[in-house]
Amino acid sequence: MQTASVGADARREAASGGDVPTPAQSAANALVEWLVAEYGGPVRLATPATSSGEGFDSDIHYLQFTGDTLPEEWRAPLVLRVKPSADRIDVARTEARIQTWLADRGYPAPRVLAVFAPGELVDTPAQVMERAPGAMMLDSVRRRPWQTRRRIAELAALHVRLHAIDPDGFPGDDDLLDRRLRLTRSTADMLDDPALRDGLHRIELISDRLRDAPEVVCHGDYHPLNVLVSDDGASVIDWTDAGLGDRHGDVARTLVLFDLAPIAASSSVERVVLRGAGPLLGRLYLRSYDRMAPLDPNRLALWKPVHLLHGWGQARGLHAGLLGGGENQARSTDRIPAMLVDELRRRFGAAIEAIAS
């Protein structure tokens, strides 16, 4: 992995025929200049730069370059991931180290080739990484529903495989619980929200129990949108929330996301379809994981309110205008409807009371 070091003048935007370039084109133009400075020789785009609307708070662009002086890894299909704010540079660098560490151990995570600080390529931090082949697992299931059981079993197997990696030397310094609570703490403070603060207090009362388990490598946001599948296998993306912690916490996060899928669906049609399918997929995933690596149901229940509190804080902050911005915020608000704030608060209350009883 490289740390980029090109000046702000590399952000020059060359419009063709007077047209204003898209964000993907602008970033690609700047990256072409950096590649020429870094490796010499002519460099150009092999295919037009395109963007994805799937990033939750980051802009995702797809690029591929050609040039005789470029190393092979820079001529392969690439992803340029642009973070939403300048203060995310440390997160971008840690995430890159984690992905490389995992790839070195044979886990299917895309390697990061370079990390750019704010102003070096675009205004905010950016990562250039390998483009994992295939399509999102959720899209694969939608197109071929008869493969659902096999795909969900594959999802569980990849998760078990991650948790089996020896965590010695893991490059992240946060544990899973800290990762989950950080955003909610920030939202509670900025909004001076007593309900969120009370929820945090109730989780902190059980923090010793939550941490009383062997530490494994956890993804932190593991679900079918973050797993890409192809005929050649699968890859796991989006390691922003990765850390060390109890594997039950990582599994509980996945189960909560399956359970909430009907509410957070992007359309009324999807909500109807997922009302039954979301929880069913969660049960299939849990059954598959448990067969390969048996789980403790009590520890899953212990972690459930942690993830519901995180979701509540995220939804509360998003609809108060604290998270994201511009197109990112519009996309995120579409995915997390306002009704989810009250629903997550209710579900958190029920889950924390179930532990107390």
pLDDT tens series, the chain, 357 aa: 665 544 333 333 333 344 678 888 999 999 999 999 999 889 999 999 998 766 567 889 999 999 999 999 999 999 999 998 899 999 999 999 999 999 999 999 999 999 999 999 999 999 999 998 888 887 888 788 888 899 999 999 999 999 999 999 999 777 889 889 999 999 999 999 999 999 999 999 999 999 999 999 999 999 988 999 988 889 999 999 999 999 999 999 999 988 887 665 544 434 444 555 667 889 999 999 999 999 999 999 999 999 999 999 998 998 888 875 444 444 455 556 777 889 899 999 999 999 986
89 and 97 in contact (C-beta within 8 Å)?
Answer: no
186 and 213 share one domain: yes
57 and 70 share one domain: yes
102: its two tokens: 């995992």
Predicted model pTM: 0.87
165 and 293 share one domain: yes
CATH number at residue 19: 3.30.200.20
Of 97, 130, 163, the domain-final residue: 130
| Residue reference for tokens 């969660």 | 282
How many residues are given for the chain?
357
335 and 229 share one domain: yes
145 and 122 share one domain: no
154 and 289 share one domain: yes
Distance, CA of 151 to CA of 137 (rounded, Å): 7
168 and 249 share one domain: yes
57 and 197 share one domain: no
Establish how many alpha carbons lie within 13 A of residue 63's alpha carbon, considering only the half-sphere containing its beta carbon.
31
Distance, CA of 180 to CA of 251 (rounded, Å): 13
For the chain, the domain total comes to 2
Structural domain for 208, as ranges: 135-356
61 and 27 in contact (C-beta within 8 Å)?
Answer: yes
What is the three-state SS of the chain?
Answer: CEECCCCHHHHCCCCCCCCCCCHHHHHHHHHHHHHHHHHCCCCEECCCCEEECCCCCCEEEEECEECCCCCHHHHCCEEEEECCCHHHHHHHHHHHHHHHHHHHCCCCCCCEEEEECCCCCCCCCEEEEECCCCEEHHHHHHHCHHHHHHHHHHHHHHHHHHHCCCCCCCCCCCEHHHHHHHHHHHHHHHHCCHHHHHHHHHHHCCHHHHHCCCCEEECCCCCHHHEEEECCEEEECCCCCCEEECHHHHHHHHHHHHHHHHHHCCCHHHHHHHHHHHHHHHHHHHHHHHHHCCCCHHHHHHHHHHHHHHHHHHHHHHHCCCCCCHHHHHHHHHHCCCHHHHHHHHHHHHHHHHHHC
Give the pLDDT score at 318. Answer: 86
74 and 163 share one domain: no
Of 130, 146, 178, the domain-final residue: 130
206 and 116 share one domain: no
Give the pLDDT score at 137. Answer: 85
Of 102, 130, 158, the domain-final residue: 130
Give the pLDDT score at 269. Answer: 39
Give the pLDDT score at 139. Answer: 81
Give the pLDDT score at 260. Answer: 84
174 and 238 share one domain: yes
157 and 92 share one domain: no
CATH number at residue 208: 3.90.1200.10
